[in-house]
Chain A
Amino acid sequence: MMAGPFQPRIVAFVCNWCTYIAADAAGVARARYSPNVRLIRTMCSGRVDPQFVLAAFEKGADGVLLCGCHPRDCHYGEGNYKALRRFVLLKKLLGQMGFEDGRIRLEWISASEAEKFRRVVEDMTEQVRRLGPFKPNGGA
């Protein structure tokens, strides 16, 4: 039977050119972090359609993490800025829909920041654990 603390499911959309490499480096370095994050690699954080985020929640994610290159570092020029603009508006919309602040998060993590990746994953897992399970299509 279920025992121990709630294990949140977090879907992370990670950019191929930065965070994915950082996650890989974290693995190579045998950094230990919570196994609650499922990575989905996209070519750019600007590729992440807000529909993906909503679909993740609809299908049972408790939190969604969006990761891209630092400002001015986007492989394609300005995909990360698009991601940031979408994030600002999406967060506002999700707030209206009753989402707590910590369920969705945007982080810039470069290819060399394996330690930051580990820290962000740990931190977000803890945060979402405190928020508890997300019930898709709640209400009657």
Chain B
Amino acid sequence: MTKKTKPKVAFYWCASCGGCEEAVVDLGEAVLDVVNAVDIVFWPVALDFKVSDVESMPDGSITVSFINGAIRLSEQEEMAKLLRRKSRFVIAFGSCSHMGGVPGLANLWDKESIFRYYYHEAPSLQGKDGGEPVMRVKVPEGTLELPAFWDTVKALDQVIDVDYYVPGCPPTPQLLANAVQALLAGNLPPKGSVLAGTRALCHECELNSTKPEKLLLKDLKRVHEVRIDSAKCLLAQGVLCLGPVTRGGCDALCVRGNMPCTGCFGPTDEVRDYGAKGLSYLSSIIDFNEEKDIVRAMEKVPDPVGVFYRYSLPHSSLRRKREVK
């Protein structure tokens, strides 16, 4: 063995479900190749390193940090900033880190309304008033501190500089492997690139050949209302698939499982606001011209924010609801 040091890699999670960590594990045996090629210096979900270990590393000494999850707590911002300082590259890993993700839908509320519901009104409290978490509490051993909970959930690039994005909820193991390989080989696209497809999902979907030339829908169907024909474009079956406005690179995994695309890879490079584009696209294919018919057809989209900003509300033009009562 030579003394040549291996590149150092860190993984961290913020406001996320753990699915992105699962994507790392889903590398399966390929994870051994990764471990051979790099030193994992920080990975709280799997390895016993402490924050102080990271703090004691020289600045810029970690080759790349993969950070998943949205930023919702003060602690997450502190950790993101620490890893930014210690890393040459920071990759926003997964939809939450990339665009705010599902936790970002909490931007329809704020801290006060969330706490009010969960600690005072939720049926699971069974009438008992929960009491709210406080940031500091004195115990005989000293003062214990909790991170601050913010009104607004943010994407990673809204708190630190991000070099690349790996999209997906979660990203596929293939995308992770590609990103690691590109980094190790120094074969990198321009800073700020999303390391996935560049075209819309329809281009790589097997069912694209069955998509009608001119798509017009009288009625939108939800997935439980229709028996999906797995050989036919979901849109042609009246199911709202967001493939036409979503970045490809996932090999149409959901569509192959008879589920429509819900947009976790976000928009293509040309689009600024994913939700607005999705909304625009749906409006274009609804086959009614009279206002009352349009309103009736749109009743099948009772929650436009949840449909079109499912993964990207913090990254949208509006970012959050104006005033929460």
Contacts and interface: CB of A to CB of B under 8 A. Distances in A.
Nearest to B286: A85
B38 to A, nearest CB: 38
Interface string B298-325: 1001011100100000001111111110
B110 interface: yes
A121 to B, nearest CB: 22
Interface stretch (B73-81, B88-96, B289-297): B289-297
A88 B291 contact: yes
A89 B303 CA distance: 10
A138 B289 contact: no
Contact of B322 (A71, A78, A84, A98): A98
A6 to B, nearest CB: 17
Interface in A85-137: 85-86, 88-90, 92-93, 96-99, 134-137
Nearest to A134: B322
B283 A86 contact: yes
B298 A89 contact: yes
Contacts of A96: 108, 303-305, 321
A78 B289 CA distance: 9
Nearest to A94: B318
Given A138-B323, A140-B150, A86 B318 contact: no
Interface in A40-89: 49-51, 53-55, 57-58, 71, 78, 81-82, 84-86, 88-89
A53 B286 CA distance: 20
Given A51-B273, A54-B316, A99-B322, A93 B279 contact: yes
Contacts of A137: 318-320
Contacts of A99: 322
Interface residues of A, number: 31
A52 B29 CA distance: 47
A49 B283 CA distance: 11
A135 to B, nearest CB: 7
A98 B325 CA distance: 9
A5 interface: no
Contacts of A50: 273, 276-277, 279-280
A71 B282 CA distance: 20
A139 interface: yes
Pairs of residues from A and B, 7 with the lowest C-beta to C-beta distance, nearest first: A98-B322, A54-B317, A85-B283, A93-B304, A50-B276, A140-B151, A86-B283
